[in-house]
Amino acid sequence: MVIKIMLALYIAMEAEAQGILDALDAQLLPQQPIIGTYYQAGDILIATSGKDLATGVDCVGTEPAGIVANDLIVHHGVTQLFNAGTCGAHSSLEAQIAEAFLVSPTIFSHDHRIPLPRFEEFGMGAHPMPEVVPPLAKKLGLRTAILSSGNSLDHTERDLEIFLANGARIKDMEGSALAWVCRQHDIPLTCLKVVTDIFDLPHPAAEQFNANLAQAAESVTAVTLRTLQEWGLFDN
C-alpha cells in the first residue's frame, strides 16, 4: 500500500509567508476556516495564523497554531507539518540576524509552569523532533538548536532560567503548540526558525524584530524553498 504524504506549511505571520506564497504561486482556498488562512500550491497546503477579528493583527502565539495544526491534520488529511518562521536567539548561540536553524532535538515551553507531579513535565513539553532533522540540516548547511516557545515576545527572569536550563537557544511563540498537536497525532514536524533578534540584549526584542523582519523573511522563503526542493516538492 502506498501512503500518500500530505504536507502542510504553518507560517504564523503573513509577512513571513508572502515570499513563499508568491514563489509557489499559492492560491487562497475557496473555503476558509474561522481561525487561520489557508492556501494551496499543488499538493501542499499553506496555512497562516490569519488575522484577529478584534485587532486585525496576525494571530501569533500558541492557541491559533494549535487550533490550525489540529484542523489541518483532522480535516485536511495532513500527514507531515513544516513550520517556518522567525525566532529570537540567545546571545550564547552567536547567531547572525537572518541565520536559519532547524530545530533539533527538542522543543520546550518556558512559560507553561505547573508545579504538580507529571503536570510539570506536561507543561514543559520536551517534544522530540524527528531523527531525520540533523541530516537534513547538514545537507542544507544549517545549524540545529533546541527551541523553546512561550506566548510573550519578551521574557521574565524565570522564563530565561527555564529556557537555559532546558538547553534551549532559540525562542518563538508557536513551536511548542505545533509540536504538541503533532505528537498527539503521531505526525512528524520539521521546524525552521530564522533569527530576527538577539533576545537577551538590553535592546528590546520588539524593536530588533521590526528592524530585521524583512531580511529574516527573505531567508525564511529561501530556506523553505530549498527544503521543499530537497524533498522533491519544488523545482525551479
Residues with catalytic function: 16, 197
Q: Strand pairing partners for 8?
A: 45, 81
The least CB distance from residue 232 to ligand SAH, in Å, is: 28
Residue span binding ligand SAH (CB under 6 A) among the ranges 34-42, 83-91, 158-166, 227-235? 83-91
**What would you report as the CA-atom Rg of the chain, rounded to the nearest whole angstrom?**
17
Contact between 88 and ligand SAH per CB under 6 A: yes
Contact between 60 and ligand SAH per CB under 6 A: yes
Give the closest residue to 77 by CA, choosing from 5, 129, 21: 5
Tell me the one-letter amino acid at 136.
Answer: L
Q: Out of 85, 99, 212, 228, point to the residue binding ligand SAH (CB under 6 A).
A: 85
- Residues, the chain, total? 236
Contact between 172 and ligand SAH per CB under 6 A: yes
Contact between 206 and ligand SAH per CB under 6 A: yes
The least CB distance from residue 16 to ligand SAH, in Å, is: 8
Q: Out of 7, 9, 11, 13, point to the residue binding ligand SAH (CB under 6 A).
A: 13
- The C-alpha atoms of residue 219 and residue 195 are separated, in whole angstroms, by 9
- The CA-based diameter of the chain, rounded to the nearest angstrom, is 56
Distances (CA, A) of 227 to 4, 20, 94, 131, 232: 19, 12, 24, 16, 9
Q: Where do contacts with ligand SAH occur on this chain (CB under 6 A)?
A: 12-13, 60, 85-88, 153, 171-174, 196-197, 199, 205-206, 209-210
